[in-house]
Amino acid sequence: MGFADQRFTVNLSILFTELPLLERPAAAAEAGFGAVELWWPWVDSPEPAQSELDALRTAIEDAGVRLTGLNFYAGRLPGPDRGALSVPGEESARFRANVEVAAGFAESLGCRALNALYGNRVDGADPAEQDALALENLVLAARAADRIGAVLLIEALNQPESPHYPLVSAPAAVGVVDRVNAATGLDNARFLMDLYHLAMNGEDLPAVIDRHAGRTGHVQIADSPGRGAPGTGSLPLEELLDRLRKAGYDGRVGLEYKPGDRPSAEAFDWLPREARRGASR
């Protein structure tokens, strides 16, 4: 096993960002990849013009890559926001307005994974009320995902970089997964296991994998420290991904790392070109 046994997808919201959005799918294809994922690309607009949605859809289709993951609207990413769905007032309203737009866009490209970032704690808001609002909106998102045959992903971030985000451990995120599934009865909420964020939180990654692989709907990687490509930090990413496979995870692995001081196309030297489209399964 090893990297060559994985099916990778390139996150176009952190890689190839030196290019305009509509040029990134083709750049990923040129680098040898067949699948891409995205944070919600329109950070100020949960409901972009249909022409913008159509242009991005065409760029993805023309590049010959698959969209395998998409975030719901989450505010300014990268930036200080870490989601909108638990933020009272305008931000949670913007999230709700985005749910059907994002689900419809995902469905049009056969994307079957939608990620809903939980949202920061905010001054003056009762955490219990934020959690109740989050569950209400996650139920809405889970039902929209179910209508298109998709899973709803719940992600843990890391406390050093996201100090106001409440889900900063695997158990916290999995607990929300369980509450959403109990509320909907759909069983389509899953854990997004981002090994970089979990490492930054100091978690025992082999133990997390052994305990939660069965409820994991997607995996993302970057090396730590630094959030760079595999091999730039100290995480044994190849061993961890092998452990995930042995634990039963057979989904894709998102490359969500920073390219460093070089063009993104040069940030894949750790992975032979013939392995970039992944194992055939």
Determine whether 100 is an active site residue. Answer: no
DSSP string, 200-267: HTT--HHHHHHHHGGGEEEEEE--TTTS-STTSSS--HHHHHHHHHHTT--S-EEE-----SS-GGGT
The span from the CA of 156 to the CA of 191, in Å, is 8
Token pair for 151: 């899973």
DSSP 185: S
To the query of whether residue 90 is one of the catalytic residues in this protein, the response is no
Q: Which position among 23, 155, 161, 239 bears the catalytic label? A: 155
- Rounded Cα distance between 225 and 213, Å, is 23
Structure tokens at 148: 């298109």
Give the DSSP letter of residue 83.
Answer: B
Active-site amino acid positions: 155, 256
